[in-house]
Chain A
């Protein structure tokens, strides 16, 4: 068994309204100095050793991320 983390982020050139909303809220709450916020999502998968990297990439590309507008990274955490 391994824990796999898939991070999904909007592509850099794609508008990220949620990240912008967070960025705008920060100064209102008194936090200064944050110039940009991008919001993505993180998936944690518990995976059998039988699942290879290729399959994990396919899982990420087909289901977890919308590759038209999002990038993803897949990494295995050490057990």
Chain B
């Protein structure tokens, strides 16, 4: 920075007097024309503090400058009908949905990819902390978290460094906070080596009337910063870490090399949650915003531009943890566990009393003004004087070149892969069950507290996570996050719809009705036209899919620059679907054997579909062809049938077929239910195709024998393709696939559960 010493601060007056001073805008991630635009907006050169604010807020991470033009498609395609249950949508801290009985549920997923590569434990931990604060900022009590994790090959040395740290960080923060972790994903692929994905989801609930939005309205209202003190952590994190291809370059701010990762304090966050909830109950919060990426720069400019437009902040009042911090550093610090509230002057005392009760430091740092400008002072001198909207919302918008990659056509040409004979299928079932991506995630999820708070109804290894919201009625929500990056690589439009269909189906097989969607779009560099094409296709696929399903996208997050050198990750649009269930006691479990005497049915149609399949990946290391076809009308019918089945007590278990096909699904249904089964295949179709094809829209359903006729009559009446798959066999402790092989459950369990412990224990 041009001036660092506290007594030599770069004030607005100084900036006006020294227009020629060279500024390190490039090092802060700003392009030449972006810097020129700042000068035009201000009519002078920015001060150091202003430059810091603009550079973080105009970074890809905060401004969505490359994605905005595409994301607007979500808004354009959302109909009034889809919006009817939505209380808050894209643009707020998190989407909010009315789930009935006076309850509103808010949920969102956000990436913390780059920090988790640099420092896996703290990166993942603060990822959880950040998304939890987003949920708090909506006025809700956070109830559960989920994590969608992706790593390099399971046996790669760097994965041994990153995975245990990330898992411990997710568990450490969430467990200390007292939030159950109810599911998620762990996926391995070589493209994530050097660029792991850590996508954290949080869900919270509140009474509909308690919804809080981030507005700083009412001239004279006070701005109160509360929570942890502000230190030197994470400075430059947003602008450099999240927006530039990883170069190991740490020459960001003026000071010596600063750590770009932050250390969180979950116990502080826990207190902050309770403090916020009491403040909401007291009704003394006009507006509230969490401090995440870009810290105070983001909170002040967003609060001001969402309200009446003006704000005055006195930076001298911000409680600091480090000595000699400059205004620019205070504004861009990413110290964790901080919140910013707008409070009426008459409520300030009450606000302070609540914070004191919880031992939370709270400081009045400024007030709402009618000037239309965000003015920040330091040592009685003005260091920032900007129109807040130009910082928060009117950043650059790029229409980046989009081009279908030249190799896409050859990628979509299916390669004929040698297929196993029926006598090889026994070994293949075991090999697939123990493969890196299909094996039990128990080693990971067992490190998370899944039942704290006592509201967890379903968690891993169930198809979705489910929590009870209303103690009286049993009303609850189910959540699933899914994505298959290989499908998306082959066809990003269909791949995104497949992710949507999978999450939708996972929620439906639990007996819940899908109502809303969130997403976390992880892609490579937006400066690569091929990556932008993947992004555009995925956004369109997801938005068009949501229209067909009639459920809205309520919010999301974009993470670009996920690449190592010129190699981008597989396009990974992680889709989260939220479903509502009237009474969690009517949930459908994933494992079979809940009732004596069950018949197994297979719903849906099996075709010869191996493009992007787990079999092609595990056995041949091959990725080619087209992903399975997606049929969303069929998915909706499937969901309706499962809901009817759960409501009328006709279904005792259900498990959806996904990666690894029928073989994997029946293995999991047996092992999760710790019950054997006898199934038979269709003599008209190749056994290998039946067992390993990844045709979508298929579910294994267990029905009590007494309900079999009623259920199958319904299937036929509603034109749902089905066939009898077999029977549950509690005596045998084995899975028999007739004319193929018989497996003792113990043998399957060893194969399925042994893989991750052997790699990481």
Contact = CB atoms under 8 A, between A and B. Distances in A.
Interface of A: 10-17, 20-21, 66, 68-69
B263 A14 contact: yes
Contact of A13 (B228, B231, B265, B268): B231
Nearest to B336: A15
Contact of B262 (A12, A15, A20, A21): A15
B503 to A, nearest CB: 34
A70 B537 CA distance: 43
Interface string B128-148: 000000000000000000000
Given A12-B322, A69-B122, 18 more contacts: A10-B263, A11-B259, A13-B233, A13-B322, A14-B259, A15-B228, A15-B231, A15-B233, A15-B262, A15-B336, A16-B263, A17-B265, A17-B268, A66-B119, A68-B118, A68-B261, A69-B119, A69-B261
A17 B259 contact: no
B723 interface: no
A11 B234 CA distance: 13
A54 B461 CA distance: 47
Nearest to A66: B119
Contacts of A66: 119
A34 B264 CA distance: 23
A15 B229 CA distance: 9
B232 interface: yes
A75 to B, nearest CB: 23
B33 to A, nearest CB: 33
A17 B129 CA distance: 14
A15 B263 contact: yes
Nearest to A15: B263
A69 B169 CA distance: 14
Contacts of A14: 231, 233, 259, 263
Contacts of A11: 259
Interface residues of B, number: 20
25 contacts: A11-B259, A12-B322, A13-B231, A13-B232, A13-B233, A13-B258, A13-B322, A14-B231, A14-B263, A15-B228, A15-B233, A15-B262, A15-B263, A15-B264, A15-B265, A17-B263, A17-B265, A17-B268, A20-B265, A66-B119, A68-B119, A69-B122, A69-B259, A69-B261, A69-B263
Interface in B436-491: none
Contacts of B259: 11, 13-14, 68-69
B518 interface: no
A40 to B, nearest CB: 13
B321 interface: yes
Interface string B500-515: 0000000000000000
Contacts of A15: 228, 231, 233, 262-265, 321, 335-336
B680 interface: no
Interface-centre pick from A11, A15, A20, A66 (highest chain B CB count, 10 A): A15
Query: For the complex, would chain B's binding face be called helix, strand, loop or mixed by DSSP majority?
Result: loop
B398 interface: no
A31 to B, nearest CB: 18
Nearest to B333: A13
B260 to A, nearest CB: 9
Contacts of A68: 118-119, 259, 261
A14 to B, nearest CB: 5
Nearest to B263: A15
Query: For the complex, would chain A's binding face be called helix, strand, loop or mixed by DSSP majority?
Result: loop
B760 interface: no
A67 to B, nearest CB: 10
A25 to B, nearest CB: 12
B166 to A, nearest CB: 14
A69 B264 CA distance: 12
B251 to A, nearest CB: 16
List of 4 A-B pairs having minimum Cβ-Cβ separation, nearest first: A13-B232, A17-B265, A15-B263, A68-B119
A13 B232 CA distance: 5
Interface in B604-622: none
Interface-centre pick from A10, A16, A69 (highest chain B CB count, 10 A): A69
Interface in B397-418: none
Nearest to B235: A13
A20 B361 CA distance: 13
Contacts of B322: 12-13
A62 to B, nearest CB: 11
B631 to A, nearest CB: 47
Contacts of A69: 119, 122, 259, 261, 263
A16 B268 CA distance: 12
Contacts of A21: 267
A11 B322 CA distance: 12
Nearest to B122: A69
Contacts of A17: 263, 265, 267-268
A39 to B, nearest CB: 12
A16 B233 CA distance: 11
Nearest to B337: A15
Contacts of B233: 13-15
A56 to B, nearest CB: 22
Nearest to B228: A15
A53 to B, nearest CB: 24
Nearest to A11: B259
Interface in B219-269: 228, 231-233, 258-259, 261-265, 267-268
A69 B261 CA distance: 8
A12 B264 CA distance: 15
Nearest to A12: B322
A13 B263 CA distance: 10
Interface in B507-527: none
Nearest to B266: A17
A13 B335 CA distance: 10
Contacts of A13: 231-233, 258-259, 322
Contacts of B118: 68
Nearest to B176: A17
Nearest to A10: B263
A69 B232 CA distance: 12
B229 to A, nearest CB: 9
A16 B228 CA distance: 12
A21 B261 CA distance: 21
Contacts of B321: 15
A33 B322 CA distance: 19
B358 to A, nearest CB: 13
A15 B333 CA distance: 12
Nearest to B118: A68
A68 B122 CA distance: 10
A10 B264 CA distance: 13
A16 B336 CA distance: 12
A38 B385 CA distance: 37
A15 B263 CA distance: 6
B434 to A, nearest CB: 31
Contacts of B119: 66, 68-69
B127 to A, nearest CB: 16
Interface-centre pick from B118, B233, B264, B336 (highest chain A CB count, 10 A): B233
Nearest to B264: A15
Nearest to A14: B263
A18 B262 CA distance: 15
A67 B178 CA distance: 29
Interface in B633-673: none
Contacts of A10: 263
A69 B335 CA distance: 14
B447 to A, nearest CB: 19
